[in-house]
Amino acid sequence: MPAVVRTEALTKIYGIGDLKVTALNGVSTTIEPGEFVAIMGPSGSGKSTFMNIIGFLDRPTSGHYFFEGQDSGGFSSDTLADMRSRKLGFVFQSYNLLPRTTALANVELPLVYAGLREARRREAAETALRIVGVEELAPHLPNQLSGGQQQRIAIARALVNNPSLILADEPTGALDTKTSHDVMGLISRLNREQGITIVVVTHERDVAAYARRIMTFRDGRIESDLANAPAVKAAT
């Protein structure tokens, strides 16, 4: 089975002329199926840029990115959109749920763009909500839900299309400590029980502690890349 993510000398330079900023400077790494990776590093270290590129939201200036063995170099923007639709799930710090739209419809959203019919969308969305343990919230609107509940809905949305990789950008950034641990417990359970490859970007050491591998970025490079014995917490 090919690595989910393999990068070779990934470089990203923003701006032109004298104003050039090197966000990523030759990052080469591999993430195997089933891994749970935390990416840490200060602001401007390149961790978000790295995540955007492996999430097909951005393209590298140079270097190669192989997704499940496939070189993404020649992908058109439509192909990138299709990859996001079929292979990836995103979890954001601010949840990014559609307002005035039910939890169920929010979870269905990626499948709308994958072209699934309504009955199958609904079935898959209900399954995803059940996996994250909030099926009873299906008819609720985001503004009726707590932060933790909204993030669970967002996680259900990320896994509704059975992705090869879920990318979470500061998923606990807007949550209190207890809810943060609940959400991280859920994410690590998805990794263990569903076998989904997960990459979490975070500032917080105790959030990163859930991962089995911690990469630290600094100045556009990987400063350290260490295995981690995850703190075993009660899965929710």
Binding site for other proteins (CB under 8 A): 52, 55, 57-58, 77-78, 81-82, 84-86, 90, 92, 96, 98-101, 105, 109-110, 112-115, 157, 161
Nearer to other proteins, 89 or 148 (CB): 89
Nearer to other proteins, 108 or 182 (CB): 108
**Residues 202, 41 contacting (CB under 8 angstroms):** no
**Pair of tokens at residue 211:** 């991962």
CB of 173 to other proteins, least distance (A): 13
What is each CA distance from 196 to 36, 89, 103, 209, 222, in whole angstroms? 8, 10, 22, 18, 23
State the burial class of residue 40 (Cβ atoms within 10 Å of its Cβ: 0-12, 13-18, 19+): buried
Residue of 163, 54, 147 lying closest to 110 (CA atoms):
163
Q: 160: helix, coil or strand? A: coil
| β-pair partners for 66 | 6, 71
Nearer to other proteins, 36 or 95 (CB): 95
CB of 196 to other proteins, least distance (A): 16
What is each CA distance from 96 to 40, 116, 128, 141, 152, in whole angstroms? 22, 22, 17, 13, 12
CB of 162 to other proteins, least distance (A): 13
CB of 232 to other proteins, least distance (A): 32
**Pair of tokens at residue 139:** 């008819």
Note the Cα 75 to chain centre separation in Å: 20
Nearer to other proteins, 141 or 209 (CB): 141
Note the Cα 226 to chain centre separation in Å: 20
Nearer to other proteins, 38 or 167 (CB): 167
**Residues 42, 218 contacting (CB under 8 angstroms):** yes
CB of 38 to other proteins, least distance (A): 21
Nearer to other proteins, 103 or 214 (CB): 103
CB of 112 to other proteins, least distance (A): 5
Nearer to other proteins, 91 or 137 (CB): 91
**Measured distance between the N- and C-terminal CA atoms of the chain, rounded to whole angstroms:** 30
CB of 174 to other proteins, least distance (A): 14
